[in-house]
Structure 1
Amino acid sequence: MAARRASLGSWVAACAVAVSTLATVAAESLPSEVAMRVGEARYLEVQAALADLVPPAAPAPRSDLARIKGFAIAETDLRVALFRVARPELAADHAMLLRAQGPRGATALAVTSGIAPVSALLAAARAEFPGWVGPQGLRVAVVVAPGATLTLRPGERLQLDRTAGAFVLNFGTLDLSGGTVAGTGEPNPAAAAFAPFVLTAGQGVLRARGVHFADLGFGDRPIFGGVAVVANSLFGQALSSFLYDSTLLRVGSVLFSGAGIVDVTGNRFVDPRQTALILESTDGARIVDNLFFGGTGGDAIQLRDRATGTRIAGAEILRPKKSGVVLEAGSHRTTLRDVAIWRPGHKGIDVDRSECLSMAGLRVLGARRAAVVLAGSRGTTLADSMLVGAQDAGLWISDLPEDAVTSVTGTRFGLNRVGIETAAPGAVALRGNDFRDQFPRFLGGDVQPLTPRLLSDLMNAAPLVLAAGGTIRPLAQAPACLGHKER
């Protein structure tokens, strides 16, 4: 059995191969049908590699207390900790969290000061609070106080018992490097919907590298969705958090909200139950070289609540339940580079009223709806990409004023229901795009009358500007983007 386990190291290599293979699809200019077959082969290869992904084995329980020095623990009132993350819309969730504690009531284990290794914390809890650690791990919520640190190292395992209502609420520092954090046990008898989660709040910091997260998160609110960092501006400027080289298996979602400079690099999001990765109210976040595989609900990546200046690069997104990348209104100055999306359940890229979007090296194959949707988004550029096999438009553009210009260069359109479809698109400047595999429908919507012009030059060697009902001369890029520099 051990030989069949996928290690974190092998996953880094597997991700690199997967991304490079789909990059080759675009670089070699394969026919659209061949590109679709290559994408399917890559999906099946990754699926097979994931089939036996299991958490690292747990070490034998420690009984010695020699490592306990250096931190302090105490019993605390869970209601006080929950008050610090209270919001009106979370009242029902908080009530459920308290019900999930069962006969123990609103009692939690607090790390009040110092640096607590997980193995030493478990040993201390066994010694001082009998019954708080059981066969399924911790049976109580853990609160890390401001100024305190909880650490996890290779070989250590933090199990959170779902039956007993265990979870982690961090106001200090979670320093996780290797090891496993997992929900365990049967459904909670007092709150069946509950599942363990890891929430960092206030001025807390999450620093996670090479961690295996599994079976975390409940409900449709990402704050309790699995792994979350939610900064509170009342406590001062948010500190930076990161998530590196980790596996998230059956985790509801990962949320960074107002959390300083966020860096999410080299991770594997496998079968998420909701949207895999959500950024809210961040600026300058980096999402680089991540794999998103499958899922039972939600999108792969979602930016919202004015998450600005985000760089998304080197992502491979395979069969997300909904869309690949969603930019809600106000997600300005986003950069997408070398992003491959295979058979999304909804759209490949879905952008709403977000200015100065720069996209290059996209490979969106087999979208159930449109490959790329741009609604009311000024100053967008799309270059050197492949939009193939969408059941709706390869590119949909709408709700723009006449002076807005969308630039599309070096992009292949093939096997979509229609190549480009519009409704009030402003001006769409085309140059060097390949429409040879896009028969029979090249243009739709209010630019459809320009189809004969495009048919005469399917390689788009001569620049062509599309506008509602006719062509116009090219206009300058929207002024809002003139000062934008790629991060």
Structure 2
Amino acid sequence: MVEAGRPATDLQSAAAPLGFSYTAAEPKPMKGLALGGAQVSVVSIDLVLSQLALQAGANYHVALRQAQAKPEVLLVETGVTSLAQLYDAVTAAKLTGVLDKTDRGYVAHLPIAVWNGATLSLQPGETLLLDRSTGAFLLASGNLVGEAAAIAGTGEANPRLKDFNPFVVVALSGSARLERMTFADLGYGLFPPLTGVTILEGGFYAKPSPSLVRDSRFDNVGSLALVDAEAAIVDGNVFGASSGPALLLSGGTDIAARGNVVLAGSAAHGIKVTGGARSVELSGNIVIDAGLNGIFADAGAANLRIDGNLIAGSKRSGVSVASADCIDVTDNLLLQNAQSGIAVRDSAGLKVSANRLIDNGNAGISVTHQPDYGVIEIASNELDGNRVGIKGSTTARLQFAMNDFTGQAPRLLDGELVQFTDRFFNLSATDATPTIIDGLQLKSGAKLTPTGALRPTSCTFEGDA
């Protein structure tokens, strides 16, 4: 098993013979925090849930309260505390049945809430175990910091709510900096903040610094979800056996997910970008055996750069775009996905360039149901052994240049594009003169994003004149 601390490098090296390469940026060392000043108390869980409801809503509160053995929360009121110091503070306050020290780690029998201005700083080697049977979870409305530590669910099934499983959420004014961590057996339900590890930003709450999750492992964690995050970085992590999208980016802006390895769950997307997320970079990731799509962008996501990824074995498509705009899909290897290598539906603008699309079960590239203002550039791609090269229906403007169909002939085009086959008789991969196809349009006006803004009617990509 790949160890936390260098979780992605072994699998990245194994993919090198396929032409995959990724060089991680040298991480800046984590600054040490001065521990001390921790004050703790036990308070009603309703105090904590009412605060969380201001940002995340309250639809799940009744069920979450039902899961509790006691309607109480261990509150870290102030200070910067490690788990060892938290245990000492709980002991000094004579709070019994709250936090136990065991050979496996510190077992929390109540939910832990880190309050505004306080910090839980997990030190190397420390393990926090959240007791499933008593309804434990971790909420940081202050800061959650961890280096070479672990957080996991533990214990028997919850007798009051059988589906309950511990989870971690950073919300309100909190931020997260998590490096070389291990997360295991966390998350339940379908929606954040319950689904595993959630970093929830936005609203009226200012963050002290952007969140960072780097070089960590997520084993049997529903999702790592970033909701309305800004300038967050998810770098060099390994995800295994996720029940939802291994990485979910919902809303937010200026987010980078680089060099991650996703061994995807059997019934979910590998990486999902949704909810109007903007200016997102997905680069150098490896996504294997996704139960749905390897990378899926929908619901008004815009200005995405999907660059240098290896996506193989997805049960649907390698990259799927549905009602998302201004997507740059460049230099990816899309291999043996059950449906298409790249599937695009209803996108106001897409650039598909320098990708290798090999042995995909349907089309190498599929374009359908484009708005009449949509423009798609397909250039310098290598198509080899797909069931068909490019499939299109109800498209707007398609611009082709310098694509290599050598390994794809004679199965070049499908759908309404078949009538243009004569334009592709010259299969030269060096002809820079674009072939432009106009007119297979599904007439439609500009639509709204989930945030109520008009979707773009044109896109500008890096490197465009």
2:282 is paired with a residue whose SS is: strand
Q: Write the distance in 2 (CA, Å) between the matches of 1:180 and 1:252.
A: 16
Deviation at 1:436, TM superposition (A): 2.0
Tell me the CA shift for residue 427 of structure 1.
Answer: 2.2
* Structure 2: tracts of 5 or more residues without a match: 22-33, 441-455
C-alpha displacement at 1:283, in angstroms?
0.9
> Aligned match of 2:89 in 117, 124, 127?
124
Counterpart CA distance in 1 for 2:50 and 2:457 is: 45
Q: Which residue of 1 aligns with 2:13?
A: 17
Partner of 1:197: 167
TM-score, normalising length from structure 2? 0.86
Question: Is the 1:429–1:463 Cα contact (8 Å) retained in structure 2?
Answer: no
Q: Secondary structure at the match of 1:437?
A: coil
Q: Which residue of 1 aligns with 2:3?
A: 7
Q: Is the 8 A contact 1:352 1:375 kept in 2?
A: yes
Alignment-mate amino acid for residue 187 of structure 1: A
- 1:380 alignment counterpart: 350
1:41 match: none
Task: Note the alpha carbon deviations across 1:120-164, whole angstroms, 9 max, x for none.
Answer: 212333452222234581111001000000011111111111111
- What is the match of residue 259 of structure 1? 229
SS in structure 2 at match of 1:17 = helix
Residue 295 of structure 1, CA deviation:
1.2
Contact 2:316 2:340 in 1 (8 A): yes
Q: CA RMSD in A?
A: 2.5
Describe the SS at the equivalent of 1:312: strand
Aligned to 1:133: 99
* Deviates most, 82-91 or 311-320: 82-91
The within-5 A match list for 1:31-110 is 69-86=36-53, 91=58, 93-102=60-69, 104=70, 106-110=71-75
Deviates more, 1:311-320 or 1:297-306: 297-306
Task: Measure how far apart 1:89 and its partner are.
Answer: 9.3
* 1:88 to partner: Cα distance: 11
Superposition deviation, residue 8 in structure 1: 2.3
Q: Distance in 2 between matches of 1:374 and 1:294?
A: 21
In the superposition, relative to structure 1, how do residues 334 and 485 fare at CA in structure 2: closer, same or farther (>3 Å)? Answer: farther
Alignment of structure 1 residues 207-246 onto 2, 5 Å = 207-236=177-206, 239-246=209-216
SS state at 2:420 partner:
helix
Partners of 1:69 and 1:382 in 2: CA distance:
53
Which residue does the alignment assign to 1:28? none
Note the C-alpha offset of 1:20: 3.1
> CA offsets, 1:87-143, max 9 Å, x none?
7996553222212112x2x11100000011012212333452222234581111001
Q: Is structure 2 residue 171 aligned with structure 1 residue 206?
A: no
Secondary structure class of the residue paired with 1:121? helix
| Secondary structure of the structure 2 residue equivalent to 1:400 | coil
More helix by share: 1
1: distance between equivalents of 2:410 and 2:35? 71
**2:121 partner letter:** T
Residue 10 of structure 1: CA displacement? 4.7
Correspondence 1:480 to 2:458:
yes
**Matching residue of 1:113:** 78
Deviation per CA, 1:297-323: give whole Å up to 9, x if none.
Answer: 311111111110111110000111111
**Maintained 8 Å contact 1:447/1:466:** no
Q: Who is 2:421 aligned against?
A: 451
CA 1:21/1:73 → structure 2, altered by over 3 Å: closer, same or farther? farther
| Residues 210-251 of structure 1: per-residue CA shift (max 9 Å, x gap) | 100111000111211110011241234684111011111110
- From the superposition, tell whether residues 394 and 68 of structure 1 become closer, same or farther in structure 2 (CA, over 3 Å): closer
Identical-residue share of aligned pairs (%):
26
Kindly indicate whether residue 377 of structure 2 is the aligned counterpart of residue 407 of structure 1.
Answer: yes
**Could you tell me how far apart the structure 2 residues matched to 1:401 and 1:198 are?**
40
Q: 1:68 to 1:351 in 2, by over 3 A?
A: closer
Structure 2: distance between partners of 1:246 and 1:483 = 32
Q: 1:144 to 1:9 in 2, by over 3 A?
A: closer
Residue 290 of structure 2 is aligned to residue 326 of structure 1: no
Measure, in 1, the Cα distance between the counterparts of 2:121 and 2:64. Answer: 24
Superposed displacement of residue 294, structure 1: 2.9
Of 140, 148, 165, which aligns to 1:178? 148
Query: Distance in 2 between the 1:465 and 1:402 partners?
Result: 18
Equivalent residue number for residue 261 of structure 2: 291
Whether the aligned pair in 2 keeps the contact of 1:222 and 1:254 (CA below 8 Å) is: no
AA matched with 1:79:
D
Aligned equivalents of 1:347, 1:245: Cα separation in 2:
27
1:250 alignment partner, SS class: strand
DSSP-derived class of the 2:10 partner = helix
Displacement after TM superposition at 1:23 (Å) = 2.5
Retained in 2: the 8 A contact 1:356–1:484?
no
Other-structure match for 1:36: none
Q: Which whole-Å CA distance do the structure 2 matches of 1:403 and 1:197 have between them? A: 43
Partner letter of residue 192 of structure 2? P
Q: Distance in 2 between matches of 1:479 and 1:446?
A: 24
For the structure 1 residues 100 and 79, does the alpha-carbon distance in structure 2 shift closer, same or farther, using more than 3 Å as the test? same
Number of residue equivalences: 432
CA contact (8 A) 1:446 1:468 kept: no
1:166 aligns with 2:136: yes
Contact residue 333 and residue 357 of structure 2 kept, 8 A: yes
